[in-house]
Structure 1
């Protein structure tokens, strides 16, 4: 019997520490206008999450709108087998785009991998017709203003979960996008990999193409380091994993014309298991089976103005091992596309100020202009609102003093988020808001490659609190480091001013300063004594380590895993802007 239930569950949750007051425009570790995070608290709190459960006589599926629409459970009722990995804790870790990834369940990513709202609340809708129950989750994303909806559905006799995903670009200009469905499943040494044959791109310390039948691992115990596998020309389009010790498996199938992308990700057995343990409660391991409408994660596609596209895929839980070439594509009868909801903005706190401002602009009533977000509010003008620019310009022109400066700052940030960076610098230069000066400093360094102008922007900051914020100290130090060694004393004064702070990102800059000051040994000692949280696909510490090793003539081939950075080859269109490589 088909049925649904909406409930609330309490999960242990680790709060996140925001990176700082500088908007994420041109930040290689950010995704404008979303706030980024630099640290996960060590102790969790209790937090409530909305869950939607749908079931028939065979399976029960649980979906969490408060975790970006993530599927948290696909449970086989007859065999009492859970086929997804979902830890009883939300413990985000450092993975792009916002440095707040949490593993487990089925995660839908858009418009970048991984989703910028995977730990945030999205809108949802539960409906039913004569054939099926539908749970839709989605929103209008903030970066480009595109809509996404993921529709999960279950029929009376289905032994699988149907996932239909819809993307829509309502804007008048095209926007880039990427999307993958990532299913976290239990990983034990005996977990078997049931994947197609054919050439596979192997992403580890090096990138190379292998023949899966001849060189591919057959089970988790065959993988000894973190590795991603992308299928280039699979000989079938069903795949999955099965763990005999758990009698649990999960398989995926889709029409290859819609969903050609197939990926397996495993941290394997050995030292890289810590990269999974960090987002669990008890160190239990998981791996990911992934699928998507793109072949791999090195490129993005473009959604044209007014374009709507969708694709359908199926998740098949199993208590026995399946032969993938015998898994046929289900022929489900779903409702028509016009019945799939297109959601609006999901979180009031993200959009209230900007919607109020645009309404005031339309009325022409200056008295209706809201107060601009202040320095303690990391809400930045939404680049996905195409008509917001005129309202921001009007607000800056219609106000005076600190309000004018704040609106100019927001207007400049919005322009930068929309790709109008040169104009953004012109607007930001008119603002006396210290956040505008800090953002200008980054833009001059990263976009214009002008460290002199960048350093002068940071030197113009008036507020002591802002000047000493770790994010600002770090960005200033990068700008000063790009100049000659004549700035060593200036760098040293700022770094000494925050020397009592236990901050791993400041430790990087202190080590860089020590190297530039000629004390590579002290830099090495500092890095060795810092307890770094693990961070994926970021190699600033590695580059610093290589410089130290060369200076000290260290003859070692041991990978310095204690730096908290992985040793994967750089691959994937995960960043909006390339990482700035500076000492």
Structure 2
């Protein structure tokens, strides 16, 4: 018995607030060409999301193409138990690459850790071939222009889910990539971790190599903080977690020649549990068990032009604890990898105008050019569209002195910067007299050239008061003025008087830095201590500022308060495989 169904599921979705109008080139808290986010609405909206389910007599697996193609649930039908953590809503939290991570289900990432399309719709197809059901999800990603497809399949007698990922590089350049499959499971104090013995890299407040002991039982109650483990030389390539109080668990196995990476991430019991609660509708923690074709999250590799990578892995739901040393690698008969669909660009508002530009360029008919997106829209030309730079140059020349001409030139410069051609981008931006061009030019002068005087001039050239006072632009300018030195203190103070009613995390952080620079460390400390900061993973600007404040106060051995909203993990992990596309 095989059943394939599709429907729209009402879900609670917390909307996210974009960071601002400046493209995410050279953005420490973003990844070009994706929009990054600064906050999440407390009250959700109701949205219907596309669901596709495949099921046999034993299992029902539901996939959500509207959430990046993730597995939404795995139901063990005999017991009626859901094997995966259900967050209860789509509630993004701050973590790279886009500051919009959502928990629950099984996420498959590519080409960077924590897939940037977690909250985006991707292509999906489903069909039965022989005695097997298939769901394929994927797209042509906009950062590098590579295809990714994840395939989920279920045979008539399977008591496991087969997952196969295919990555293809159709571009003319090699591109870096990584991939992890990240399964979230509901955590309880009695949750048991069944993982291989051997050396592991432990990522907590320190990075250290330790050992996972085969003779010891590991439970969530044994851990009192958030931390991750990467297996260096596992003695077996199966792993999983089982929770007796829930009566269910999930195990993973794969061929180590294809999928050697094994990771465990947990929040532990105690002070860090609240970090897990941010992504869910209720105060319930979760654990992530992960696998991938690379050994560690700091690793990446290159996919050459025309190159293809495929790896297969298996998820085994269970209502009883399993012995990982007795699990056998399944060998289902899958369709030939050549039949796996490679999807094109996803149909999104941020891709449509650029595809129209490419179509017009290909036809040579300038009358087919669309109206360029408004600079405030956050719709930036994808670096993964290789011919787009030439097409935008053609669009600018075709528009000539018309109103669209400078804006097409601006987008050409954005595309150049997004593909790593910074000098060319800066030269072109210098010729564009638009506020959006001045804003990006100010950042590039500061981040690429360390020319703070030129950066200041660019920001001073912005005419719109709304652009000047947008928190993103305000912070960018303040960073430039701060880099110039104490001679700008009075100017910075004057700017802060214009926004002293706003309760923005970034503004509060920069105001505290100003107070410290002005010689008022106690006031800076009070501001940080009193502001309610949102939590953010693997960012430590406020932590470092807090330490500098106490150094100015002559205080050492200082605890960093939780209200600063930054974790205490050691800096580690390549959430982004490079700062600019290669």
TM-score with structure 2 setting the length: 0.98
Residues 131-150 of structure 1: pairs in structure 2 closer than 5 A: 131-150=131-150
Cα 1:404–1:162 change in 2 (3 A) is same
CA distance in 1, matches of 2:225, 2:90: 24
Give 4+ residue runs of structure 1 displaced > 4 Å after superposition. Answer: 214-217, 576-579
SS in 2 for 1:311: strand
Would you say the 8 A contact 1:178–1:301 is kept in 2? Answer: yes
CA distance in 1, matches of 2:528, 2:33: 32
Q: Are residues 1:289 and 2:323 paired? A: no
Q: Are residues 1:15 and 2:15 paired? A: yes
Aligned to 2:473: 472
Aligned to 2:128: 128
Aligned to 1:519: 520
CA RMSD of aligned residues (A): 1.4
Aligned to 2:375: 375
Aligned to 2:321: 321
Would you say the 8 A contact 1:265–1:288 is kept in 2? Answer: yes
Q: CA deviation at 1:502?
A: 1.4
Residues 390-405 of structure 1: pairs in structure 2 closer than 5 A: 390-399=390-399, 400-405=401-406
Aligned to 1:83: 83
Aligned to 2:65: 65
Aligned to 2:24: 24
Aligned to 1:169: 169
Is the deviation greater in 552-561 or in 536-545?
Answer: 552-561
Listed one character per residue, the Cα deviations across residues 463-490 of structure 1 (whole Å, up to 9, x for unaligned) are 1111111100001111111111001111
Aligned to 2:438: 437
Q: CA deviation at 1:369?
A: 2.0
Would you say the 8 A contact 2:237–2:254 is kept in 1? Answer: yes
CA distance in 1, matches of 2:497, 2:176: 42
Residues 542-561 of structure 1: pairs in structure 2 closer than 5 A: 542-561=543-562
Listed one character per residue, the Cα deviations across residues 486-519 of structure 1 (whole Å, up to 9, x for unaligned) are 0111111222211111111111111111111111
CA distance in 2, matches of 1:354, 1:221: 51
Between the two proteins, the alignment pairs up a number of residues equal to 579
Q: CA deviation at 1:576?
A: 5.7
CA distance in 1, matches of 2:204, 2:225: 8
SS in 2 for 1:349: coil
Cα 1:413–1:236 change in 2 (3 A) is same
CA distance in 2, matches of 1:423, 1:329: 52
Aligned to 2:186: 186
Cα 1:173–1:140 change in 2 (3 A) is same
Listed one character per residue, the Cα deviations across residues 523-568 of structure 1 (whole Å, up to 9, x for unaligned) are 1111111111110001110110010010112344423221000111
SS in 2 for 1:558: coil
TM-score with structure 1 setting the length: 0.97
Is the deviation greater in 513-522 or in 362-371?
Answer: 362-371
Q: Are residues 1:384 and 2:377 paired? A: no
Unaligned runs of 5+ in 2: none
Would you say the 8 A contact 2:546–2:560 is kept in 1? Answer: no
Would you say the 8 A contact 1:217–1:223 is kept in 2? Answer: no
Q: CA deviation at 1:79?
A: 1.4
